Amino acid sequence: MKKIQLCLMLLLGLATHSIAQQKVSDKAIIKTPGVHCEACKERIELYVARQYGVSAVKVDVKKKTTTVTWLTDRTNIEEVKTAIANIGYDADDVAAEETAYKRLPKACKKPDPVLADSAVKKN
């Protein structure tokens, strides 16, 4: 009888402990104006999803936003924005890292207004 009571108390304690340690997550929508195509979308989703604590990433190319869900005890919004900037894209108030931006495929870069104006004048 004592063994049964001990086992029940142990199970109850483990159940209470696991409920108390449930992970808390947060969600944010980050403006990513540099997203132009599906390649940009895939690049951001793959890279950010690998970041510690990030549980979900969804990029909307039309709205130029990235929706991110993360575990609050493992990362925060600033680290997520920095991760996006480190692959070459602006993320809200965090500017893209210059060397990473230079490594992006040509289609994923913003058109240079000076070059665009000169191309229009030639035609």
Could you tell me the residue ranges of all domains in the chain?
22-104
* Measured distance CA(36)–CA(41) in Å, rounded: 8
Mean pLDDT of 18-38: 82
pLDDT band for position 21 (cuts 50, 70, 90):
low
* Measured distance CA(59)–CA(3) in Å, rounded: 54
pLDDT score of 115 more than 60:
no
Q: What percent of the chain has pLDDT over 90?
A: 63
pLDDT tens digit sequence for 50-108: 999 999 999 999 999 999 999 999 999 999 999 999 999 999 999 999 999 999 988 88
pLDDT at position 110: 74
Query: Interhelix angle for 38-49 vs 77-86, to 10°?
Result: 130
pLDDT at position 107: 85
Higher pLDDT, 56 or 17: 56
pLDDT at position 71: 94
pLDDT at position 109: 83
* Measured distance CA(97)–CA(95) in Å, rounded: 6
* Measured distance CA(102)–CA(43) in Å, rounded: 14
Instruction: Report the CATH fold assignment for 22-104.
Output: Alpha-Beta Plaits (3.30.70)
* Measured distance CA(82)–CA(28) in Å, rounded: 14
pLDDT at position 58: 97
